[in-house]
Amino acid sequence: MGFELNFSIDPRTKIIILAIISFMVFNDVPMYVSGILVLIPFFCLFFSDYKKAAVIYILTYVIAKYLQITILPNATGILAIVLITFSYTATRMLPILMMGYYTIMTTKVSEFIASMEKSNVPKDITIPVSVVFRYIPSVFEEIRSITKAMKMRGFGLTFKSLKSPLKMVEFYMIPILISAVKTSDELSAASLTRGLSNPKKRTNLISVEFNKFDYLFLAISIAGIAVYIYYLYGGALIA
């Protein structure tokens, strides 16, 4: 009998963790704190059927951190510029991007709206953000379809296609822009049909509640903030 982990976290937890990670990775945080926080997107992706993305993310982060610690202090010239660009972009931006990717790809609009209404968040914030949650995956799906259509016509993203950048822009960017505009119109119509702008209180078929994973990740994130504050004020007092 196999063991199946029923992993899911509340949309509010995802947003809080995303905000904390965004704050922490851009500050001078001790490595043992940032290292624990960057593992949260990895576990979220790994246990949500995004194992390939999780492995690529953690390997890229480890390589970038290794370069930052061991090779960068002695690197000079063009090599140093390339390594600095890669390592700092990966270590600073990658955790935020992957947590944002997980948040958008695993959060249903109905779950997001239900969680925001439960937290008494104003509709002026809930409705635009809920449209974004639906808009980005739709655009990504359209980009995949356009890419497959171009490959069927013998014009994929290859070195050969890079020799004709104007054709690549014409064949890719114009369909993507048209599709993006069309998708936004469809989502606006869908939001009106669902009555999202109705001022009266809505009922929800989906029940959103915090579970053990929510409490675990929130506890780790809050502990990271607490350690950072202690480290910051302790360092200032010592100085």
pLDDT tens for 184-198 read 777 777 766 766 666
Phi, psi for 22 (deg, rounded to 5)? -60, -40
Half-sphere exposure of 91 (CA within 13 A, CB side): 22
| Together in a domain, 100 and 117 | no
3 lies in some domain = no
1 lies in some domain = no
| Together in a domain, 222 and 189 | no
| Together in a domain, 76 and 166 | no
What is the domain extent for residue 155?
A: 109-205
| Together in a domain, 99 and 84 | yes
| Together in a domain, 134 and 191 | yes
| Together in a domain, 24 and 42 | yes
Which of 3 and 5 is assigned the larger pLDDT? 5
Amino acid occupying residue 226: A
| Together in a domain, 103 and 114 | no
Q: Are 21 and 218 in contact (CB under 8 A)?
A: no
Q: Are 171 and 150 in contact (CB under 8 A)?
A: yes
| Together in a domain, 84 and 63 | yes
| Cα R_g (the chain), whole angstroms | 22
| Together in a domain, 119 and 98 | no
| Together in a domain, 228 and 181 | no
| Together in a domain, 114 and 194 | yes
CA geometry: angle 153, 158, 159, nearest 5 deg: 130
Look up tokens 């979220």; give the residue: 44
Residue 137 has pLDDT above 60, yes or no: yes
21, with CB counted inside 10 A (0-12, 13-18, 19+), is buried
Which of 6 and 91 is assigned the larger pLDDT? 91
2 lies in some domain = no
Q: Centre a 10 Å sphere on the Cβ of residue 164 and count the other Cβ atoms it contains.
A: 12
24 lies in some domain = yes
| Together in a domain, 118 and 201 | yes
User: pLDDT tens digits for 202-226?
Assistant: 666 677 788 898 999 999 888 888 8
CA atoms of 25 and 144, how far apart (whole Å): 31
Tokens of 153: 């016509």
CA atoms of 71 and 69, how far apart (whole Å): 6
Give the total number of structural domains in the chain.
2
DSSP characters over 152-190: HTT--SSHHHHT-HHHHIIIIIHHHHHHHHHHHHHHHHH
128 lies in some domain = yes
User: pLDDT tens digits for 11-51?
Assistant: 889 999 998 888 887 776 677 777 788 889 999 999 888 89
